[in-house]
Amino acid sequence: MPDGNTITMKHVQATLPVPDSTHSFWHSEPNKFLIGHRSTEDLPAEADIVIVGTGITGTSVARFLAEDERADEKSIVVLEAREACWGATGRNGGHCQPLLFDRGPEVASFELKNVHTVQSYIEKHDVPCEWRSVSGCRTFWSEDLLEEAEKEIAHLHKISPEVASRVTVIKDKDELKKHRVSPDCTGVTLTEGAGSLWPYKLVTYILEKLVTEKRINLQTKTPVTSITSSDGKNTLHTDRGTITSNTVILATNAYTSALLPQFADLIVPVRGEMSALFPPANSTILPDSYGMVGALDQPANNDDYLIQRPYAGVPNPAGHLMFGGGRGAGDKDSMGTCDDSVIDEGSAAYLRSALLKVLDLDGDTKGLKELKAAGQWTGIMGYSRDDHPWVGKVPDREGLWLSGGYTGHGMPNGTLCGKAVVDMVLAEEAGEELSAFQAKMVKDGDLPESYILSKERIQNARAKFLTVAEQDAKGVHMNGVV
């Protein structure tokens, strides 16, 4: 059994986001309204609710507060260390893909519901973020890996046939060809209910809407350096002054322990490599979004992941291949770092060449050794020690709430995790007993029980699980698809 009191050298307290991050392709078309935005010249001295972070989670928290009449009269301030949506959501792979057989049926159902919620918002508001409904094609590159997946799917058929009906296993080489997968692949799982998108454009659309409707006060380039508590209030310290609030919601994911050091061994920053690659000339668009498990001698616990942007014609005809992963080919240690200002050339080189080997990209590929990159960058994921997000009230800290630790899988979780925190905050404020309300949420499918933040869960994570670094070193599968 692991020593629950040990925080290894890999689990030192996270730092704040670095100011000089690598340039994400998703930021190549910045939201000009939000760049450098501060709704008021000075930082307000106080607010009813303060949200820290403007990724998919923090923005969803702000959105659901704005949509709830119980929060109509509340002042809401949103703080961001860098520009809006400049962290993991603005750097990820563009997936919104539920994992249906990895973490149990209640998680699968929640992720499917989350994807539907994201898609519904995009369609209702006609958000120009390149949403594309696709199937999730997860490729397995050894018999052992595919057999493990088949066992999990067989178990899912027994306990949740409805969810299992959305998963198909394909081994036939002709069928693999239809999904543009190399015949060298052992087999794939095909899952319904996935999507791909330009995540930065979705998040900044929501933020701009909330700002212009005067529902939130957004303060970018305002990193929170610490949070102190006194008389039931929380004071957030920044280099622009302090802001005090009864309710603070942290949507800080990998950076959580910079403000909550006690989470240093529970949510661990891990750097991931991403790329935007030009497809071969005259190639056709891929039908699915993809995950690669154990491809090209990569560790089986570090999946590669791919979506393709739609071909859009002038001025953006490219249909870029948004490909991430390659941790096993990296030259630099990615575990426990918050520095996304560097490129790992080993991982980047792997990403430029791998797709030509694992997929049939068609078009003019003869003699092509690697794909040209339109962009290469890194981002910081938050790996959870027990492989589930942490959502709820921070123990022994009145008025302090958290949603984070997505293990590279935030897009199919962050929207409804944000809503769950809002519902908890407003229910407790209305006098409901929190644990009873959380039990109702679980019963209604509004949040998996395994996500709920509690003292008992923290103790169990430390007692029953190796540290994140130890799990990574031993090849334990942390189910991350960025």
Domain borders along the chain are: 19-90+200-267+386-474, 135-193+269-384
Task: Please give the average per-residue pLDDT across 60-84, as a whole number.
Answer: 97
Q: What percent of the chain has pLDDT over 70?
A: 95
Q: What is the mean pLDDT of the chain?
A: 94
pLDDT at 248 over 70: yes
Residue 63 CA, distance from chain mean position: 18
For the stretch 130-179, pLDDT in tens is 999 999 999 999 999 999 999 999 999 999 999 999 999 999 999 999 99
Task: Please give the average per-residue pLDDT across 212-226, as a whole number.
Answer: 98
How is residue 84 written in tokens? Answer: 């809006």
d(CA 275, CA 73): 43
d(CA 460, CA 453): 11
Task: Please give the average per-residue pLDDT across 122-137, as a whole number.
Answer: 96
Q: Which candidate, 169, 388, 408, 435, places its Cα nearest to that of 269? A: 408
Q: Which candidate, 150, 49, 170, 33, places its Cα nearest to that of 101? A: 150
pLDDT at 302 over 90: no
d(CA 105, CA 110): 8
Q: Which residues make beta-bridge pairs with 78? A: 51, 218
* DSSP-assigned states of every residue in 3-60: -TT---GGGPPPPPPPSS----GGGGS--TTTTT-BSSSSPPSEEEEEEE--SHHHHH
Q: DSSP assignment, residue 364?
A: S
The DSSP element (H or E) to which 147 belongs, if any, is helix 143-159
Task: Please give the average per-residue pLDDT across 230-258, as a whole number.
Answer: 97
Q: Rounding to the nearest 10 degrees, give the CA dihedral for residues 125, 131, 175, 369.
A: 180
Q: What's the pLDDT at 300?
A: 85
> 135-193+269-384: which CATH architecture?
2-Layer Sandwich (3.30)
pLDDT at 285 over 70: yes
> Domain spanning 19-90+200-267+386-474 has what CATH number?
3.50.50.60
For the stretch 249-260, pLDDT in tens is 999 999 999 999
Going by DSSP bridges, is the β-strand pair 289-293/132-140 parallel, antiparallel, or unpaired? parallel
Q: What's the pLDDT at 301?
A: 84
Q: What's the pLDDT at 311?
A: 82
